[in-house]
């Protein structure tokens, strides 16, 4: 069992560590709590398609969600367009067109954005990086158009 001295000492060390962590590391640790957008979108694609009696093949929802995340990464994080087009091309070749109807946009927005107008999430950036970004409703709808037209 710990004595009060030991607990107090541990709390002091923890306080010292927390107050002396560089700001960039704190931002990184906070970003690790965020779920990658592709996971959020994958679940939304599956859920909304199932509501309409449609189902994705294994890996298709995940791949199309990565296309959507890559589009947002291109728009917000500087992901090169060549990487975006490569992900889009490979997904279309492997799985065919996305199962997505423009009439489902409102439902997808509700599932992904949880009734907020802005979603804080992790997006792919250049050279395999992840960026913590704010996705607006308009940009979200543009991303869905890009996937559907893909």
Domain span at residue 82 reads: 34-149
Q: How many domains does the chain have?
A: 1
Mean pLDDT of the chain: 80
For residue range 60-87, list pLDDT tens digits in order.
Answer: 999 999 999 999 999 998 999 999 999 9
CA distance 135 to 24: 21
Provide the percentage of residues in the chain whose pLDDT is more than 90. Answer: 51
For residue range 30-62, list pLDDT tens digits in order.
Answer: 445 456 788 889 999 999 999 999 999 889 999
Within-domain flag for 5: no
pTM of the prediction?
A: 0.75
The CATH number covering residue 88 comes to: 1.20.1090.10
Length of the chain: 150
H or E segment at 141?
helix 137-149
């Amino acid at each position: 069992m710990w004595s009060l001295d030991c607990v107090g000492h541990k709390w002091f060390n923890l306080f010292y560590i927390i107050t002396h962590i560089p700001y960039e590391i704190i931002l990184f640790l906070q970003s690790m709590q965020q779920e990658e957008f592709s996971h959020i979108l994958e679940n939304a694609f599956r859920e909304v398609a199932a509501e309409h009696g449609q189902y994705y093949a294994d890996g298709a929802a995940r791949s199309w969600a990565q296309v959507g995340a890559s589009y947002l990464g291109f728009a917000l994080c500087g992901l090169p367009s060549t990487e975006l087009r490569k992900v889009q091309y490979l997904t279309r070749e492997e799985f065919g067109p996305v199962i997505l109807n423009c009439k489902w946009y409102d439902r997808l927005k509700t599932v992904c954005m949880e009734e907020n107008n802005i979603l804080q999430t992790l997006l792919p950036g250049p050279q395999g990086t992840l960026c913590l970004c704010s996705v607006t409703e308009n940009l979200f709808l543009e991303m869905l158009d890009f996937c559907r037209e893909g």
